[in-house]
Amino acid sequence: MDKSLISAPIPTIRRLPKYIHMLKRLKIENVLYVSATTIAHELKIEPILVRKDLSITGIIGKPKVGFEVEELIASITQFLNWNNTEDAFIIGVGALGEAILGYSGFKDYGLNIIAGFDIDKKKIGKKIFGVEILPLDSLEDLIKRMHINIGVLTVPASESQEICDSMVSSGIKAIWNFSPIALQVPDEVILENVHLSQSLAVLTHKLAKKLKG
Amino acid sequence: MDKSLISAPIPTIRRLPKYIHMLKRLKIENVLYVSATTIAHELKIEPILVRKDLSITGIIGKPKVGFEVEELIASITQFLNWNNTEDAFIIGVGALGEAILGYSGFKDYGLNIIAGFDIDKKKIGKKIFGVEILPLDSLEDLIKRMHINIGVLTVPASESQEICDSMVSSGIKAIWNFSPIALQVPDEVILENVHLSQSLAVLTHKLAKKLKG
DNA sequence: TTATAATCGATAATTTTATATCGATAATAA
DNA sequence: TTATTATCGATATAAAATTATCGATTATAA
Ligand SMILES: NC(=O)c1ccc[n+]([C@@H]2O[C@H](COP(=O)([O-])OP(=O)(O)OC[C@H]3O[C@@H](n4cnc5c(N)ncnc54)[C@H](O)[C@@H]3O)[C@@H](O)[C@H]2O)c1
Ligand SMILES: NC(=O)c1ccc[n+]([C@@H]2O[C@H](COP(=O)([O-])OP(=O)(O)OC[C@H]3O[C@@H](n4cnc5c(N)ncnc54)[C@H](O)[C@@H]3O)[C@@H](O)[C@H]2O)c1
């Protein structure tokens, strides 16, 4: 049975990486077992929620001791399909694009960026963190020929819908969008947005209440 | 009555910036009125949910026409307290920190980064995008003296708890954390995490289901 | 060996969030 | 002027997510 085929609530999926972060640290510290209670305490969530989240990945715990750390990492990783890294393109190698390109951590999250695309002639042809920057013209052809499923979109907001359309027409399956725009994509294309403004909204609203209230 | 003092569900707060993005575009296009139906259609959410979200900011719509675009922008902005930008420090001016520092968009989201801090001597003393980079040693003193409320944390994960503790002891009120770590802060300190792995988890999980299922 | 304590995991209850219904309102057209 | 239509916003319902309860299990200590 392939774990990554099971459905889960989005909130659960979003918490799973938090568990992985903690578990990997525990592994480094040579901790063999960890209980839902311990995880919950560190991550400030309820133990019962931790157990529910973990159980969806198929792991079975041991009463009195908890879960085996390595087994749990493997279970979550399989569930997220992070054991199979997907090759991806990034479009727009500016400040943010370059930071993402240079971040080695994403390989642990199932993402392997193998090429960047830009319109800036000063960037095209160069290698950034070992990844070649290619002209935008070649994007469509390469998505098709290399069967790329994921596009990371870090172009200016004004350009993103156009690039998005171009990727979609080339058969891209999922777009990880960083531009502050509500991209229009067909139902079958997975769109995941990183809108930092959303996170900041929560922060500023809470802070305003704290300072004034 | 100060709008930013009203409580709202977190999901609502997280959607508000999406409305602002769309509304600002409409304003540029000289659109005067917009209905919840129109917003809902573009953002792929239910009209009733849009109305509920907007109503929490105190706006009152007009039957048959909808909401006045400018008034609605003002209403949401006030609710999020984005009309009062907060001065902030950023700690760790690496690839990501520099991208954030250079991003002019955050001023529209109530955040004004006025100084960066790092331990890298090559960076200290320089100005990046007009913002001075100062030595980490001066962080605590400056938070206190300048009454800084927000710290943006973009140091390596191994360093972040220590810097976090240092900011907390200097009286910081809110931390916007980008490192993949569950920071421990006292209850009264607002902690907002940007864990890109969470977003990626949703994407990879959906993609795996799509490709295999 | 037996009692104790911690934890798991199934089921139930509660809370939160999203959606549906419908009368009231205001613009538009007959 | 009056009918029609789109939309708002209050109230009600449904769905989703979280939290509580409790018997079963197993390591640890008496
Ligand atoms: N920098 C941040 O912290 C930050 C934060 C939130 C959102 N964003 C969003 O991320 C995106 C990128 O931001 P940035 O700060 O890196 O901007 P940037 O200007 O530094 O980089 C944009 C890059 O895209 C390239 N580009 C422009 N048009 C292109 C096209 N049609 N095809 C391919 N490449 C093209 C440019 O040459 C440049 O290299 C923007 O949409 C921005 O709103 C950035
Ligand atoms: N780059 C990305 O796309 C990305 C994505 C997700 C998360 N992150 C996280 O963001 C953080 C920064 O990532 P990055 O790619 O910019 O790393 P980076 O190595 O480019 O930058 C880190 C910066 O922090 C400085 N620094 C180190 N120790 C410090 C200390 N004690 N005090 C002050 N400054 C210190 C370094 O000199 C450097 O300038 C990391 O925690 C990383 O895991 C980055």
For A33-73, write each residue's pLDDT tens digit.
999 999 999 999 999 999 999 999 999 999 999 999 999 99
User: Does B124 share its domain with B164?
Assistant: yes
Last residue of a domain, one of B47, B64, B79: B79
Q: At what angle do helices B36-43 and B47-55 cross, to 10 degrees?
A: 120
Of A122, A121, A104, residue with least CA distance to A113: A104
CA A52 vs. chain centroid, Å, equals 22
CA B28 vs. chain centroid, Å, equals 23
Ligand 1 centroid to residue A159 C-alpha, Å: 9
User: Does B95 share its domain with B146?
Assistant: yes
Whether A213 is covered by a domain: the verdict is: no
Last residue of a domain, one of B37, B57, B79: B79
User: Does B101 share its domain with B162?
Assistant: yes
Q: Is B58 on the interface with A (CB under 8 A)?
A: no
User: Does A189 share its domain with A100?
Assistant: yes
pLDDT in the model for residue B1: 61
Whether A211 is covered by a domain: the verdict is: no
Mean of pLDDT values over B131-155? 98
**Residue A7: CB less than 7 A from any atom in strand D:** no
Total-model pTM: 0.98
Number of domains in chain A: 2
Whether B182 is covered by a domain: the verdict is: yes
**Residue B60: CB less than 7 A from any atom in strand C:** no
Q: Is A212 on the interface with B (CB under 8 A)?
A: yes
CB contacts of A116 in chain B (<8 Å) are: none
pLDDT in the model for residue A213: 74
The C-alpha atoms of residue A112 and residue A129 are separated, in whole angstroms, by 13
Condensed to tens digits (0 to 9), the pLDDT of residues B1-41 reads 687 777 799 999 999 999 999 999 999 999 999 999 999 99
Mean of pLDDT values over A67-81? 98
- A129 close to ligand 2 (CB < 6 Angstrom): no
User: Does B154 share its domain with B52?
Assistant: no
Condensed to tens digits (0 to 9), the pLDDT of residues A128-166 reads 999 999 999 999 999 999 999 999 999 999 999 999 999
pLDDT in the model for residue B7: 78
pLDDT band at A1 (very low <50, low <70, confident <90, very high): low
- B128 close to ligand 2 (CB < 6 Angstrom): no
Average confidence score pLDDT of chain A: 96
Spatial neighbors of B88 by CB under 8 A, at least 6 apart, are B111, B112, B113, B114, B148, B149, B150, B151, B152, B176
Say which CATH number the domain at A72 has: 1.10.10.10
The C-alpha atoms of residue A150 and residue A141 are separated, in whole angstroms, by 15
User: How many angstroms separate the CA of B162 from the C1' of C13?
Assistant: 41
Last residue of a domain, one of A79, A103, A130: A79
Of B11, B19, B8, B6, residue with least CA distance to B69: B19
Say which CATH number the domain at A155 has: 3.40.50.720
User: Does A74 share its domain with A136?
Assistant: no
pLDDT in the model for residue B2: 80
Mean of pLDDT values over A199-210? 96
Mean of pLDDT values over B102-111? 96
Q: Domain containing A111: what range?
A: 86-198
